Amino acid sequence: MIFDLAVIGGGVNGTGIARDAAGRGLSVILLEQGDLAGATSSASTKLIHGGLRYLEQYEFRLVREALAEREVLLRAAPHIAWPLRFVLPHHKGLRPWLLIRLGLFIYDHLGGRRILPPTRTLDLRNDPAGAPLQARYRRAFEYSDCWVDDARLVVLNARDAADRSADIRTRTRCAHARRENGLWRLFLDDGTDIAARALVNAGGPWVSHILGSIMGIAAPTRVRMVKGSHIVVPRLFAHDRCYIFQNADGRVCFAIPYESDFTLIGTTDEDYVGDPAEVAITPSEESYLCAAVNDYLRAPVSRSDIVWRYSGVRPLRDDGASAAQEATRDYVLELDVPVGAPPLLSVFGGKITTSRRLAEAALERLARFFPRLGPSWTADVPLPGGNFPWNGAAALTSELRARYGFLTHAAAARLTRSYGTRAVEILGDARRPADLGRDFGHTLTEREAAWLVDQEWARTAEDILWRRSKLGLRLSPQEVAVLESWLSSKCNHARS
């Protein structure tokens, strides 16, 4: 079979492009060497935000586009994305109060905000947000951005693409690709090959490697590899707001409510050299993040408090910035079309927030090669399970409990936040807990695990516990081993 479009890379950009293209009528195949969201796209700070600090770098187009995309995603995926209020404590080391207020005024109005509430000022001596902070912090700004489950966003993009007839192949590496007789010929590591009329290289931190080693093409854009690391500790404060702390070195650090019982702290920004697959947080980064929040919090955080840590490599366009945190998060789409040859589009840079717009821009660049390409459509269509109001998760949880009376509130809420309206497809005709099969622990059942294998390409315990969910924070090593054994048996049976 000859596909219209082949996409290399199963991160947020690759799956977003595959979804958009499939919805416009193209035949699409996506190739991912590992699991969906297996690298950078599951290692973000998990925010949908305009990037307040990018205003200082005069990246107004990027900020405007990102701010507008917040509410697009809130409506498209209300099960995995929701509004979040950010508290920015002010002190003498920051920019003047009025200058920050002006910046937040621009931030409030640049992107056409309709759902999210505007900025306000806080008296930290009287507001609950002041309770966890040191007494010297007396006032703060509070503004709006959003939270997203980054890995599930990727999986839902892929699921929607597959629902629109795209061929999603995980754990399938493209070993070599070349132009041949007006088509792209891709040779896969399983010994097979495919053909496509156009090729998208959305390899993330491997984008230059794919161009050079797999296609034999020099990269037209220089990539700057920037490592971002995060730590997770037990919950540091009772309220549901996020803190944004300004560090003495000019970086910012977030402290974010995470998975009900934890706080996510990050990120670092360091230049990275080496294999992106080997990236890992260092002890010095852990100490840096602890120190960053300890400058603000009453109760200190130490490395011994860390229950999980992760790192990712951001493949940013090298714009010559002197410091890693100043490198642009904007994206570049490089189109390579020698005369009479099929097109190659390579994706450099980008961020979770603008991934849908990046996909639209990618299809715009490829439109002249597909005269019957349909119009853009993703701005108004929910992702799988997201066909309910942006503020309707609590009501959907209640409906799920009313329909399945044996579910605890915690179980129903987690299913809603993971699958939205598709939770009922998992639960089906169950009338009691036993109908869901084996209980792997912390509300994860055999029926849900089977769904993740059959519908969301999960193959290992890591896929389920750290990307399709974050239940890895809760399951014991013994429970993980039981799940891994069950998955091995199920996947081996499916192959036979």
What does the pLDDT read at residue 490?
A: 85
Per the DSSP assignment, residues forming a β-bridge with 178 are 185
What is the DSSP code string of 150-163?
Answer: HHHHHHHHHHHHHH
Question: Rounded mean pLDDT of the chain?
Answer: 94
Gap between the Cα atoms of 14 and 18, Å rounded:
6
Check pLDDT > 90 for residue 309. Answer: yes
pLDDT tens column, 229-251:
999 999 999 999 999 999 888 88
Gap between the Cα atoms of 123 and 101, Å rounded:
15
What is each CA distance from 475 to 265, 451, 456, in whole angstroms? 21, 19, 21
Of 293, 2, 13, give the one whose Cα is nearest residue 161: 13
Read off the tokens for 351: 């961020």
Residue with the bigger pLDDT between 111 and 360: it is: 360
Read off the tokens for 326: 């100043």
* Confidence category of residue 313, pLDDT binned at 50, 70, 90: very high
Does residue 359 sit in helix, strand or coil? helix
pLDDT tens column, 109-167:
888 888 999 999 999 999 999 999 999 999 999 999 999 999 999 999 999 999 999 99
Read off the tokens for 173: 């590496």
> Does residue 463 contact residue 472 with C-beta atoms inside 8 Å?
no
Kindly report the pTM of this predicted structure. Answer: 0.96
Of 4, 239, 258, give the one whose Cα is nearest residue 148: 258
